[in-house]
């Protein structure tokens, strides 16, 4: 059992899906959690359930994040959003928004958290990347670009943080059973010319050796281990949980 007693963890996008599962796992292991999310009400609900704190924040407002300073021991860059469209139809504003939330905000939060982590000689940065940080899919230009960028940011953080007891890792799941996946079913069906009920089997699970969605609790279990004391030599890495997709 990983013990996080005495640790503080900030989890972005912690009001839903994978982030909420991580928050629950970390709190159960003894950490004090802060749920940072655009949906302040849902963040407050999860925080209340876990006796933690909440931070209603729009991570697309990257100018406001420049002056933030954080004193968490564990930072989970998890907030994210998806949009599917061919490049020629992809709204540039939406592309910029996705890059801000999923790449610029993680940079600014890492920047805000490192001074405290360096001072105490311990820190864990966990970046919720994706199999799309390592592989591409059609119609996901912004998401794939942001996640590939996050992979680079995570590795640089690992190199700079190593001497200070700070590790940085990416977690790379395939499709996880969360609202983010449910929300893209109609768009994927339209673009691929198939029915919504065919999207999971024909598109999402097409490349996986294991034909099922990942559960949020499975991702949280890996995140918990990476946040704990046994993972001190694990850094600069990308940890797949993709049912074998990237074995191809």
Ligand X SMILES: NC(=O)c1ccc[n+]([C@@H]2O[C@H](COP(=O)([O-])OP(=O)(O)OC[C@H]3O[C@@H](n4cnc5c(N)ncnc54)[C@H](O)[C@@H]3O)[C@@H](O)[C@H]2O)c1
Cβ nearer to ligand X, comparing 2 with 238: 238
Identify the CA nearest to 51 among candidates 70, 26, 16, 73.
26
Sheet strands side by side (includes 8-12): 53-56, 32-37, 8-12, 74-77, 123-128, 166-173, 237-241
Give the binding range for ligand X (CB under 6 A) out of 37-45, 117-125, 188-196, 220-228: 37-45
Which residue in the set 59, 112, 203, 205 belongs to the binding site for ligand X (CB under 6 A)?
A: 59
Which residue in the set 33, 112, 125, 128 belongs to the binding site for ligand X (CB under 6 A)?
A: 128
Which residue in the set 2, 4, 26, 37 belongs to the binding site for ligand X (CB under 6 A)?
A: 37
Give the binding range for ligand X (CB under 6 A) out of 14-22, 46-54, 86-94, 231-239: 14-22
Strand duo 123-128 + 32-37: pairing = unpaired
B/e letters for 80-105, b = 16+ CB within 10 Å, e = fewer, are bbbbbbeeeebeeeebeebbbbbbbb
Q: Is 143 among the residues known to form the active site?
A: yes
The tokens for 160 are: 């700079």
Verify binding: residue 39, ligand X, rule CB under 6 A: yes
Verify binding: residue 178, ligand X, rule CB under 6 A: yes
| Closest distance to ligand X from the beta carbon of 196 (Å) | 16
Give the binding range for ligand X (CB under 6 A) out of 2-10, 31-39, 66-74, 111-119: 31-39
Distance CA 157, CA 144 (A): 20
| Closest distance to ligand X from the beta carbon of 80 (Å) | 2
Distance CA 127, CA 78 (A): 6
| Contact positions with ligand X (CB under 6 A) in 155-174 | 173
> What is the rounded radius of gyration, in angstroms, for the C-alpha atoms of the chain?
17
Verify binding: residue 106, ligand X, rule CB under 6 A: no
Catalytic residue annotation:
143
């Amino acid at each position: 059992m990983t013990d996080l007693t005495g640790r503080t963890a900030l989890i972005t996008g912690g009001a839903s899906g994978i982030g909420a599962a991580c928050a629950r796992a970390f709190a159960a292991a003894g950490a004090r959690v802060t749920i940072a999310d655009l949906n302040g009400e849902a963040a407050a609900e999860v925080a209340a359930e876990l006796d933690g704190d909440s931070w209603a924040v729009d991570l697309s407002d990257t100018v406001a994040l420049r002056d933030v300073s954080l004193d968490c021991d564990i930072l989970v860059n998890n907030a994210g959003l998806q949009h599917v469209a061919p490049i020629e139809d992809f709204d540039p504003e939406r592309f910029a928004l996705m890059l801000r939330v999923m790449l610029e905000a993680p940079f600014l939060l890492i920047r805000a958290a490192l001074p405290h982590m360096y001072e105490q000689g311990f820190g864990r940065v966990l970046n919720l990347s994706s199999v799309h940080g390592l592989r591409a899919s059609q119609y996901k230009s912004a998401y794939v670009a942001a996640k590939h960028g996050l992979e680079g940011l995570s590795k640089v953080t690992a190199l700079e943080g190593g001497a200070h007891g700070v590790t940085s890792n990416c977690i790379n799941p395939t499709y996880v059973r969360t609202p983010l996946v449910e929300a893209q079913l109609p768009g994927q069906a339209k673009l691929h010319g198939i029915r919504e009920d065919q999207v999971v089997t024909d598109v999402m699970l097409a490349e996986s050796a294991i034909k099922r969605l990942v559960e949020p609790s499975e991702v949280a279990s890996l995140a918990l281990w990476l946040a704990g004391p046994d993972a001190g030599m694990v850094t600069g890495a990308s940890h797949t949980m993709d049912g074998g997709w990237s074995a191809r």
